[in-house]
Structure 1
Amino acid sequence: MIRRFGEAVQASQRYRRRPGAYALLVRDGALLVTHQQEPIPEYQLPGGGIDPGESPIPALHREVFEETGWRIDITRRLGAFRRFTYMPEYDLWAEKLCTIYLARPVRAHGQPSEPGHSAIWMEPELALKRLGNAGDRHFVARFLGAAR
C-alpha cells in the first residue's frame, strides 16, 4: 500500500491518475530544490509528471533538467506516495503517484528552462520546514534519519 499525504479525497470529485518522478538531490550536505513561482509559490523536490509512453527514469532526468538546469546521476528508488489535489495550472483534479529517487547532481548546464522555476541549494533541515507538500517532507525526514 502506498502512503497518502495531503488533502482529503473528495468523494464527489473525479481524479485523474498522474504518475510522476521526483528526486532528493544531495551534494556536499545540501539539498537542491526548486521554487515554483506559479500558480502558488512553493518549494518542491525537483521532478514532475511522466509523459505518456515515457518511463520514470528518463522522465526524472528531463524534469530535473527543466526545473534546475542540472544533469543527475540516479542512485536508487526511495519509495512512493500519493496525494489527491487540484492542479490549477492544468485545471485538473489529480491523484498524483509520486515516486521518489535519491540522486546526485552531477553538472549544472545553466538556468532552469521551465518558466517560473528557480533552483535553490538548501540545508535539508530548512527544506523540512519549507517544502510545500507533506510527502516531500516525509522523504527528506527519512533521508535525514538514515544519514545520522
Structure 2
Amino acid sequence: MIRRYGESVKPGQRYKRRPGVYAVLLSGDSILTTFQESPAPEFQLPGGGIDPGEHPVAALHREVFEETGWRIGNIRHLGTFRRFCFMPEYDFWAEKLCQVYLARPIRPHGPPTEAGHTAVWLPVTEALGLLGNAGDRAMLTYALGLPA
C-alpha cells in the first residue's frame, strides 16, 4: 500500500493520475530545494511529472536540472507516496503518484530553466518545517533516519 499525504479524496471528484519523480538532494547538513513562486509560494523537493514514454530516472535528471540548474548522481529510490490535489497550472484535479529518490547534487550548470523556480539551499532542520507538503517532509525525515 502506498501512503497518502495531504487532502482526502473528494467524493465524486475525478482525478487524473500524474506520475512524478522528486529528489532529496543532501550535502552535509543542507538540502537543495526549489522555491516555486506560483500558484502559491512554497519550498519543494525538486521534481515533477514523468512525460509519456520517459524513464523515471531520466525524468528525475531533467526535472532537477529544470528547477535547480544542478546535475545529480548516486541516485537511489527512497519511497513513493500519493497526493490528491488541484493543479491550477494545468487546471485539473490530480492523483499525484510521487516517486522520491535520494541523490547527490554534483554541480550547478546555471540558474533554473523553468520559470518561477529558484534553487535554494536550506539547513535540513529548517527544510523539515518549510517544505510545502507533508509527503516531501516525510521523505526528508525518512532520508535523515529520523523517527516519523
- Regarding TM over 0.5, the answer is yes
Q: Is the 8 A contact 1:81 1:135 kept in 2?
A: yes
Q: 1:145: Cα distance to partner?
A: 2.2
Unpaired runs of 5+ residues, structure 1, are: none
1:65 is aligned to 65
What is the aligned partner in structure 2 of residue 111 from structure 1?
Answer: 111
Distance 2:55 2:42 in 1: 26
Check 1:74–1:14 CA distance in 2 against 1; reply closer, same or farther (3 A cut): farther
TM-fit CA distance, 1:83: 0.5
Contiguous gaps of at least 5 residues in structure 2 = none
The structural deviation recorded for 1:55 is: 1.0
1:95 is aligned to 95
Are the aligned partners of 1:19 and 1:98 in contact in 2 as well (CA < 8 Å)?
A: yes
Q: 1:16, 1:55 → 2: CA distance?
A: 20
Matched residue type, 2:99: T
For 1:64-83, list aligned pairs within 5 A. Answer: 64-83=64-83
State the partner residue of 1:138: 138
Amino acid across the alignment from 1:92: F
1 CA distance for matches of 2:58 and 2:40? 27
Distance in 1 (alpha carbons) for counterparts of 2:29 and 2:108: 17
Q: Aligned partners of 2:113 and 2:92: how far apart in 1? A: 23
The 5 Å alignment of 1:33-72 reads: 33-72=33-72
Q: C-alpha separation between the residues in 2 aligned to 1:109 and 1:20?
A: 23
TM-score (norm 2): 0.96
Residue in 1 aligned with 2:121? 121
Residue 92 of structure 1: CA displacement? 1.0
Tell me how far apart the structure 2 counterparts of residues 78 and 127 of structure 1 sit (CA, whole Å): 18
Task: Determine if contact 1:74/1:101 at 8 Å carries over to the other structure.
Answer: no
| Equivalent in the alignment of 1:17 | 17
- One-letter code aligned to 2:108: A
SS of alignment partner, residue 145 of structure 1: coil
How many positions carry a matched residue from both structures? Answer: 146
- Counterpart for residue 7 of structure 1: 7
Question: Hey, what's the Cα distance between the residues in 2 that align with 1:29 and 1:89?
Answer: 33
Q: What SS class does the counterpart of residue 135 from structure 1 fall into?
A: helix
* Identical positions, percent: 63
What RMSD in Å do the two structures reach over aligned CA positions? 0.9
